[in-house]
């Protein structure tokens, strides 16, 4: 009996506690209206692009032998970036220089009238022929005098005259041979071959000069992925270089928000890879047309951002926040306190231990807070909750 009575008493106490707990007002989180400076923002994301940039390209084909830069490095205009293999170009230059020396030697020989050995042989032949002519001429003259005295026959005189003529003809033949050693076509041919060799040398030197790929502009190397041994064709990009003290950030803004964006509006850029860092700038260009981006209708807004440390690299995906409007000393509440009922914007205001519906007029807002009219500074407004609130409902206020 006693055990039964104790069990009944315990059940009664438990039922009373449960009923008491059920009748407790719900705990609701509240926040107070405060005065602060608030800015209306258009949050979006975008991609960094350089304002001034150029591409260093390969002027000739070849394998990469040496790399002299790295990504993110600042270079001056004309600074060497990459050197290609020069073995083939050096061989071309050596071959061209050798041909030039050979042709110049030939031209020097032509200028002298021919090869020294040939000239020496002809000169010796001419000397002998002149000596023979002199001897034959003396003999002929003597025989003519003897013929006048009838001391020599006509046959002897005629034979002497033939010896004189043969010696003169020999001299003439040797002189002609000397002249024929160097002809006009030989000089023209030598000149043409020299020009070809000089052109080949110039081409080889151009190849050597083109083996060093240089920076076309002064700036930061923001894109560079080559490795030693990589093969480049003529025109292949080697490095992208830009002036990064100021950069463009191209962002896409939804069509319904474009009316809130105009030139010179302040912009703040953040990058997930460098948390805590911020870059400031302004809207530089507004869109001239609306384009489809997936299921969105957007306009491309170009922002000009200051980047004094040059650490915001082109190609980076960043977050952007455009400050479209600012109000000083505005009365603001958290956006999660706003509700819309019966077509009106309002809040549930804490009055004592109950909530009361209060209509408010909205001003500007950002991602977390909204400007309101119709409240007083310090008023407590209910935050978003899974419990359904009603006008006059008793609550237990909690201020997180």
Q: How far apart are CA 307 and CA 315, in angstroms?
A: 14
Kindly tell me if the per-residue pLDDT of 70 is higher than 60: yes
Q: Name every residue whose Cβ is closer than 8 Å to that of residue 378 and which is 6 or more positions away in sequence.
A: 32, 33, 34
% of residues, the chain, pLDDT over 70: 90
Q: Which one-letter DSSP state was computed for residue 275?
A: T
Residue 129 banded pLDDT, cuts 50, 70, 90: confident
- pLDDT per position as a tens digit, 200-247: 888 888 888 889 999 999 999 999 999 999 999 999 999 999 999 999
Q: How far apart are CA 323 and CA 337, in angstroms?
A: 23
pTM reported for the whole predicted model: 0.55
- pLDDT per position as a tens digit, 336-375: 999 999 889 999 999 999 999 999 999 988 878 999 999 9
Q: pLDDT at position 115, please? A: 56
Query: For the chain, which domains are there?
Result: 26-39+329-398 (2.40.420.20), 40-52+244-326 (2.40.30.170), 60-85+210-238 (2.40.50.100), 91-206 (1.20.120)
Residue 124 banded pLDDT, cuts 50, 70, 90: confident
- Residue 370 and residue 339 in contact, taking contact as beta carbons nearer than 8 Å: no
């Amino acid at each position: 009996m006693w055990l039964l009575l104790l069990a009944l008493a315990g059940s009664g106490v438990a039922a009373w506690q449960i009923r008491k707990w059920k009748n407790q007002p719900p705990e609701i989180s509240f926040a107070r209206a405060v005065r602060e400076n608030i800015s209306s923002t258009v949050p979006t994301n975008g991609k960094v692009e350089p304002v001034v940039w150029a591409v260093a390209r390969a002027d000739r084909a070849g394998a990469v032998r040496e790399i002299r830069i790295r990504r993110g490095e600042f270079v001056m205009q004309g600074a060497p970036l990459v050197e290609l293999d020069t073995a083939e170009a050096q061989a071309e230059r050596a071959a061209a220089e050798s041909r030039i020396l050979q042709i110049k030697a030939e031209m020097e020989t032509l200028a002298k009238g021919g090869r020294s050995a040939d000239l020496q042989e002809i000169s010796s032949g001419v000397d002998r022929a002149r000596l023979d002519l002199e001897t034959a001429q003396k003999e002929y003259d003597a025989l003519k005098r003897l013929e006048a005295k009838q001391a020599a026959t006509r046959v002897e005189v005629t034979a002497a005259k033939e010896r004189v003529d043969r010696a003169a003809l020999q001299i003439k033949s040797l002189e002609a041979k000397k002249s024929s050693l160097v002809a006009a076509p030989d000089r023209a041919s030598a000149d043409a071959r020299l020009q070809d060799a000089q052109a080949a040398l110039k081409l080889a030197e151009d190849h050597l000069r083109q083996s060093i790929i240089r920076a076309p502009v002064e700036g930061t190397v923001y894109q560079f992925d080559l490795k030693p041994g990589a093969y480049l064709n003529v025109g292949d990009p080697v490095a992208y270089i830009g002036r990064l003290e100021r950069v463009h950030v191209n962002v896409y803004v939804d069509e319904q928000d474009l009316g809130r964006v105009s030139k010179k509006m302040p912009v703040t850029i953040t990058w997930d890879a460098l948390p805590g860092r911020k870059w400031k700038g302004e809207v530089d260009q507004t869109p001239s047309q609306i384009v489809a981006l997936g299921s969105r209708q957007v306009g491309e807004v170009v922002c000009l951002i200051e980047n004094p440390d040059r650490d915001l690299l082109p190609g980076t995906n960043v977050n952007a926040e455009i400050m479209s409007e600012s109000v000083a000393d505005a009365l603001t509440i958290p956006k999660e306190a706003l509700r819309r009922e019966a077509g009106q914007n309002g809040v549930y205001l804490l009055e004592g231990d109950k909530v009361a519906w209060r209509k408010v007029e909205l001003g500007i807002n950002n991602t977390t807070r909204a400007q309101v009219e119709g409240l007083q500074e310090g008023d407590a407004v209910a935050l978003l909750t899974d419990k359904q609130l009603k006008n006059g409902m008793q609550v237990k206020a909690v201020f997180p």
